[in-house]
């Protein structure tokens, strides 16, 4: 893999809003074990709150996902894979990030409130991206002033 390709993949992984529109992977191998990630996340998110008995399971899953994300990112950083493999790994890392976002957002909120919050956050990231892309990112906005 060329140096610029490696940097491009790492930038994609680290980009704010990289999970926008990305689905949680259906199945992923973590620490040598196949995990039905999408099913697990949706099962946990269906509940209004995480029951006490499930909190340890969710925390363990988040730790394992963070560890797997780091290991995969390091493969790209070290240049230990080719560009095509690096692209596949980058997509997996972004999918892991999406799952982590979903699991991190669990709490006392209802599913509807969480969906609205997530939509608002996605909209904000999208608007920030558009401002930068169109060259309208001239600093902090001042409330009360027109365009």
Per-run averaged pLDDT (10 residues), the chain, 147 residues: 88 81 85 86 78 79 91 90 91 90 69 70 89 72 48
Residue linked to tokens 């027109």: 146
Helix (H) or strand (E) holding 30: strand 28-30
Residues 6+ apart with CB under 8 A from 73: 10, 13, 93
Between CA 101 and CA 98 the distance in angstroms is: 5
Q: How far apart are CA 92 and CA 18, in angstroms?
A: 12
pLDDT at position 48, please? Answer: 65
Question: How confident is the model at residue 72, as a pLDDT?
Answer: 92
Give me the pLDDT at residue 147, please.
Answer: 47
pTM of the predicted structure, to 2 decimals: 0.65
CA angle, 15 as apex, 85 and 68 as ends, to 5°? 50
**Domain-wise residue ranges, the chain:** 3-133
């Amino acid at each position: 893999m060329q140096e610029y390709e490696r940097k491009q993949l790492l930038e994609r992984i680290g980009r704010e809003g990289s999970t926008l529109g990305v689905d949680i992977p259906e199945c992923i191998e973590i620490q040598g074990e196949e995990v039905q990630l999408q099913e697990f996340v949706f099962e946990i998110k269906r509940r209004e709150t995480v029951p006490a008995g499930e909190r340890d399971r969710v925390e363990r899953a988040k730790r394992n996902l963070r560890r797997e994300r780091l290991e995969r990112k390091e493969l790209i950083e070290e240049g230990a894979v080719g560009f095509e493999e690096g692209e596949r790994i980058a997509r997996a890392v972004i999918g892991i990030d999406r799952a982590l976002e979903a699991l991190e957002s669990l709490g006392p909120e209802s599913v509807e409130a969480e969906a609205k919050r997530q939509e608002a956050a996605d909209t904000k990231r999208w608007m920030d991206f558009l401002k930068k892309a169109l060259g309208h990112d001239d600093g902090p906005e001042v409330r009360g002033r027109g365009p």
